[in-house]
Structures are given as C-alpha cells and as structure tokens.
A and B are shown apart, each in its own frame.
Chain A
Amino acid sequence: MVAALALLVPAACSAAPAGSVELTVFAAASLSDALTAAGNVYEVDNRGVSLTLSFDASSALRTQIEQGAPGDVLASADMANPQALVDGKLAVGPVVQFARNELTIVVPAANPARIGDPRDLARPGVWIVGAGESVPISRYIDECLAKLAALPGYPAGYAAGVASNVVSREDNVRAALTKVELGEADAAFVYVTDAAASDAVEVVGIPAAANVEAVYGSVAISGSRHPAEAAAFVAWLAGPRGASILATFGFLGPAGE
C-alpha cells in the first residue's frame, strides 16, 4: 500500500505542464477574498506561475507547516507566527509586512441583542463568538478590550464581563463571522475587512482611541521547491500592486508608505 502511494506521488507532481510553477500559499482566513483576487491578478501578470491558496487561522497554518505541510508562502494576520517559523529555520526571513487591518464589532442584521455600543457586549446574556486563543485576532481583541476598559464611561470589570459572554471559540475569524451571519451568535470582533465582505451583518464601531492595528506579515517557507518564485510573490504582495488590490478590500498598506 505504501509502495502504491509512493508510485502515485510523482504522477501527481508531474501533472503540471513543464515550465510552469505551482506555488502553494497558506493565508490567514481574513485574507480569503482579498488574496484570491490578488492571486488572480498575480497569475495574469506572471505567466507560468499558478497559485494554490489555503485559508485558515494563521496559527493553524503555522502548525501545519511545522508538521511538514508542503507549501511555499505563509501570509499571516500577524508578524509573530511567520517570525516563529523563521526562528525555527522553517522560513526564510525577514518577515515582510504587507498589510494592516483594524478591528470592528459585527452583529446580525436584525441585531437581536440590541448592541449599539461596545459597552453592550459586557451585558449579561449577550452571546459572543471568538476565535481560538492562539489565533492572531484573539490577541488583538485582548488588546482592544484592555484599551476599551480604560476609556471613560466603561465599567470596572468590562473586559472580564465581555470574556464571560464568549460562548464559543471558533477555528478562525471567518468561522466566527459566519456564526454571526447565521444569527447564532449576537456579536463577534472581526477585522474591518471581514465586516466589509459580508452583507448579512451590521457594524458596531470601536472608538478610534481603543482600536488596535493588526499587522500582516508574510515569508517564503524554507522547504519550498520554488524559493525564487516564493520570494518574488512575498515581495509583490508587499509592493504597490499587491497593496492596491488589498486596499480595494479595505486593507491598509504596510506601515511606512
């Protein structure tokens, strides 16, 4: 059986026409729409390169790469996960910042819990969905809650109150968004770009003073069979063409532009 599988592998690999390069890009779930669009443009601009995209929580993708998943690029919703791969000699540094994002709160269009303000999230009985503790957005949310709690008008124990209303930790931010779209959850913190991608949710803004900047970074993965092409994609994504496509989905360009 093992021998039979071994025979299948070269056959599968040789399916691509000669001279073409297939890059596998692991990308944060929040990049689902934007990177799909950017990838289409990239394939047109770079004949002979085709992209295969795989979306999930950045932390989950990092785990997959650490467990030997074959891939060429990680585009993460933070700098920490790709940096950890670089530190572990699993990716070629430095981590290239390619986009920034901000947080917002989404509620179902009908807003059954009548949430009009971030303060309402701490009210008992509000059902909030989050993402797993290791998922980048969870760290951004913690920072944001700490900042909100420090604002005038927010009660003592605000952050703890919100935390106690969390009813589920979904796989990634898009899964949390889906639970709000379905009306199963009353609210979720998501990225501004996630909220913009959905017709079925309403946005409850976060005061600018409490918002958090999410910084997206990408790296070429060490085991890549196409290191030059992988590095080229990483650079392109952070360049003007990549940034302009991501901007149409609401992403902010990398800092320092």
Chain B
Amino acid sequence: MKRSPIGLLAGAGGGLLVLFLGLPILALLARAVTGGLLPEAAGASAVLEALGLSLVTTLASLALAVALGTPLAYALARRRVRGRALLEALVDLPIVLPPAVAGLALLLVLGRRGWIGGPLEALGISIPFTTVAVVLAQTFVAAPFFVRAARTGFAGVDRHLEDAARVDGASEASVFWHVTLPLAAPALAPGLVMTWARALGEFGATIMFAGNFAGRTQTLPLVVYGEFQAGALDAAVAAAAILVLAALGVLIAVRGFGWRRALDVRSI
C-alpha cells in the first residue's frame, strides 16, 4: 500500500520529535553508564543525602497535598462554590507559573519579613532555609496536580450509587470512605503519582525560598544544578541520571498499573 506524501511527512515530523525528546535523555543515561558514574553516585554521600531528603520531603508534600487537596477537590466537584471559575484558576495557577515566581511569592508571604512569616518570626519560628520550606515549596507547585485529578475523579462518581448506600443507612462519612473514594480511586491514583513526580522535580521555588544547603534543603535537582555550577559535570550527570530513572520508573509504573489517565491531559 502506498502512503500519501502528507502521511510520510507527518511520520517524519513525529519521528523527529521522538528523537528530539529521546536523544538528550539517552545521552544523559549513556554518559552516566559509560562513565561508570551511577555506582559512584550511589556511593557519594552528597547524592545519597540529597536523595534521602528528596524522598522524605516529596512524601511530606504529597501527604499535605492529599490532606488539604481532597476536601477542596470534593467541594469543587460537588458543592455550589461562589466564584468557582476564579477559584479553579487560582488552584491551577502554580501549574503554569514559573517556579521562580512561586519561590519569590512564597518568600513574600512566609519569609522572615513576610505577611505570615513576619509574625511567626516574632514567635521565634523561621521558615526559609529549613526543610519545612522545601516541603512547602514542593507542595505549592505540586498540589494542583492532585486537586485537578481528584476533582475529575469525584465528579465522575455515579451519585446514584452513593444514594443507594444512604438508603441502606450509611452515614455521610461511610458513604465517602466506602463508596465515593473507591469509585474515584482510578483518577486519584494517577493524581498522586503526578503530584509526587512534580514535587521530586521541583527546583526553582525551592532554591529561592528554601535556599541550598546539603542535608537540609539541598534536594536532588539542586545537586544537579550545584554540581554543574561548580564545574563537576560528571557528578551533575550522575545525580541527573538518578532523577531520570526515578521519573521514568514512575511513568512506566503508571502504565503498568493501567493508570493511563495519569498521562491524559484531561486529568491534569
């Protein structure tokens, strides 16, 4: 069968994009592998420390996003909310904001002279330059991914099934836990994954708001940047390769678990 010229052109364009997206990642991993950098990085205390900090802070950010994002998403999906369009735009804003803008904005509110940070400072509590600041920066940029996914999930649950449970005498809490949540789970799970992945990759807001200090605020992306700035290209490549493998692992797992909607823009 002969393919049309337009079909060939489209195929070539698509192939070029795959190369464009894939080659840099391949080059990064190739350099890490051929240079024997991965075992070295795995043994480097700076990388391990940063990896540990990244894991702890991203899980904390995820927990915050779920704890605070679930009620918000439920309200957006189910309740009459005044100014819904504005509220939804506000929640989505961090997704499109440059993270450096997020870092600056966080400083103005939670910095030592900020709207909230100032009064806290008077009580002896400082947030910038602490691990707490890392968690907050990551939550700021990542939580919208969970809220969006959860909102879609809750909106998609068949209300008749909930009503049926109510008729059978279930309490509102019981309805939520045993009916709504399980039915929304297929949308929530990929939301969790994307939120975690976005938190793992967070850089700009973190370095501006939380600073850069090994063991306290230096997450893995900051190691990549710091090592590169210092001219230690191999160390930067090694840390970057670990991040790529982690992110790739997550995306493959998402597909493996059939959570394809995580990769669907409609859920993001």
Judged by a CB distance under 8 angstroms, whether B128 is at the interface is yes
Asked whether A171 is an interface residue with its Cβ less than 8 Å from the other chain, the reply is yes
Going nearest first, the 3 A-B pairs with the smallest beta carbon separation are: A168-B211, A167-B129, A134-B230
Fill in one digit per residue for A53-76: 1 if any B CB lies within 8 Å of its CB, else 0. Answer: 000010110110011000000000
Q: Report whether A169 and B213 are in contact in the complex, using a CB–CB cutoff of 8 Å.
A: yes
Cα–Cα distance between A75 and B17 once the two chains are bound (Å): 39
A124 to B107, CA, bound (A): 24
Given known A-B contacts A168-B213, A168-B217, A184-B111, A59 and B229 have beta carbons under 8 A apart: yes
B211-243, CB < 8 A from A: 211-213, 216-217, 226, 228-231, 233
The residue on B at minimum CB distance from A60 is B229
Output the residue of B112, B126, B211, B230 with the most chain A CB within 10 A. Answer: B211
Chain B residues near A182: list those with CB within 8 A: 107, 111, 113
Nearest chain-A residue to B127 (Cβ)?
Answer: A184
Within 8 A of B (CB), among A146-192: 166-171, 179, 182-185
Q: Given that A132-B229, A182-B107, A182-B111 are known contacts, is A1 also in contact with B212, CB under 8 Å in the complex? A: no
Chain B 103-139 residues near chain A, CB threshold 8 A? 107, 111-113, 126, 128-129
In the assembly, what is the distance between CA of A167 and CA of B213, in Å? 6
A63/B111 contact (C-beta < 8 A), A1-B17, A184-B128 known: no
30 contacts between A and B (CB under 8 A): A1-B16, A1-B20, A57-B229, A59-B229, A59-B230, A59-B231, A60-B230, A63-B233, A112-B112, A129-B211, A132-B226, A132-B229, A134-B230, A134-B231, A167-B211, A168-B210, A168-B211, A168-B213, A168-B217, A169-B211, A169-B226, A170-B211, A170-B212, A171-B229, A179-B211, A182-B107, A182-B111, A182-B113, A184-B111, A185-B129
Q: How many residues of A contact B (CB 8 A)?
A: 26
Given A127-B129, A183-B112, verify A63-B216 contact (CB < 8 Å).
no
Q: Does A87 contact B (CB under 8 A)?
A: no
> CB of A120 within 8 A of chain B?
no
- In Å, the complex CA distance between A57 and B129 comes to 21
Q: Are B212 and A63 in contact (CB under 8 A)?
A: no
Distance of A86 from chain B, by nearest CB (Å): 15
- A127–B121 alpha-carbon span in the complex (Å): 13
* Contacting residue for B216 out of A60, A62, A167, CB 8 A: A167
Q: Encode A117-135 as 1/0 by CB contact (under 8 A) with B.
A: 0000000000101001110
CB distance from B156 to the nearest CB of A (A): 38
Residue numbers in B under 8 Å from A183 (CB-CB): 111-113
CA distance A132 to B231 in the complex (A): 11
How many residues does chain B have at the interface if contact means C-beta atoms less than 8 Å apart? 23
State whether A63 and B229 are in contact (beta carbons under 8 Å apart), knowing that A167-B129, A168-B211, A184-B107 are contacts in the complex.
yes
Contacts of B216 in A (CB 8 A): 167
Contact partner of A63 among B16, B207, B230, CB < 8 A?
A: B230
- Which residues of A have CB within 8 Å of B113? 182-184
Cα distance A128–B92 when bound, in Å?
35
A184 to B103, CA, bound (A): 13
CA distance A167 to B112 in the complex (A): 14
How far is A42 from B17 in the complex, measured between Cα atoms in Å?
Answer: 45
Is the pair A66, B211 in contact by a Cβ cutoff of 8 Å? no
Residues of A within 8 A of B111 (CB): 182-184
Check if A184 sits within 8 Å of B17, measured CB to CB. Answer: no
A133 to B46, CA, bound (A): 13
Tell which of A57, A133, A184 has the most Cβ of chain B within 10 Å: A184
Smallest Cβ-Cβ distance to A134: which chain B residue: B230
Smallest CB–CB gap between A109 and chain B, Å?
Answer: 11
When chains A and B are docked, how far (Å) is the Cα of A166 from the Cα of B129?
A: 10
Question: What are the residues of chain B within 8 A of A134 when measuring CB–CB?
Answer: 229-231
Contact with A along B70-111 (1 / 0, CB 8 A): 000000000000000000000000000000000000010001
B3 to chain A: closest CB distance in Å? 22
Cβ distance A59 to chain B, nearest Cβ, rounded Å:
6
* Chain B residue nearest to A166 in the complex (CB): B213
**Contact of A168 (CB < 8 Å), options: B107, B112, B212:** B212
Contact of B213 with A127 in the complex, beta carbons under 8 Å: no
Contact A63 B213 (CB under 8 A): no
In the complex, what's the smallest C-beta–C-beta distance from A68 to chain B, in angstroms? 12
Q: Roughly how many angstroms separate A4 CA and B113 CA in the complex, as a whole number?
A: 49
**Segment 175-208 of B: residues with Cβ below 8 Å from A:** 207
- Is B230's CB under 8 angstroms from A132's CB? yes
Alpha-carbon gap, A229 to B232, bound state (A): 31
A30 to chain B, nearest CB (A): 16
Residues of A contacting B228 in the complex (Cβ-Cβ under 8 angstroms): 63
Residues of B within 8 A of A59 (CB): 229-231
Contacting residues, chain A, for B112 (C-beta < 8 A): 112, 183-184
Question: What's the Cα separation between A62 and B232 when bound, in Å?
Answer: 11
